[in-house]
Structure 1
């Protein structure tokens, strides 16, 4: 019986530790999602200010020079 109680205590601790990790990862994902959104907005504003640049292809859509 003691062995089972030890296993349960160990598993409970592991679940708590994993929960902490998942919570930290969720916060980091939220932070990175906000940053990507801001970068996308900034890039859209930059492209709008350039006025389309006479039909040039946006840098993100251009093929690398080795293609």
Structure 2
């Protein structure tokens, strides 16, 4: 009888450990999913900003009949 009780306790312990690991993995997966969603939003915003900049490039080049050169641009804080 003690052998059966010991086996049941071992199985119960193993099941509890697996449940703990599963819960930790679920938490990790959710955290990674949230991080990916935030990164996708950042990428989408950066792509929109880049499209806007590309749309403005011809405007800059046409305004003074010189090719656009970012090195000649004055930053907004000057």
TM-score range (shorter-chain normalised) is: 0.7 to 0.9
TM-score of the superposed pair, with normalisation by structure 2? 0.64
Please identify, of 40-49 and 18-27, the stretch whose mean Cα deviation from structure 2 is larger. 40-49
Instruction: List runs of 5+ in structure 2 lacking aligned partners.
Output: 1-14, 71-78
How many pairs align?
A: 58
Are 2:75 and 1:59 aligned? no
Query: 1:46 pairs with 60, 73, 77, which one?
Result: 60
Provide the C-alpha distance between the structure 1 equivalents of 2:69 and 2:23, rounded to a whole number of angstroms. 55
Instruction: List runs of 5+ in structure 1 lacking aligned partners.
Output: 61-67
The root-mean-square deviation of aligned C-alpha atoms, in Å, is 1.9
Q: After the TM superposition, which segments of 4 or more aligned residues of structure 1 sit over 4 Å from their partners?
A: none
Higher relative contact order (CA 8 A, sep 6+): 1
TM-score of the superposed pair, with normalisation by structure 1? 0.73
Are 2:47 and 1:33 aligned? yes
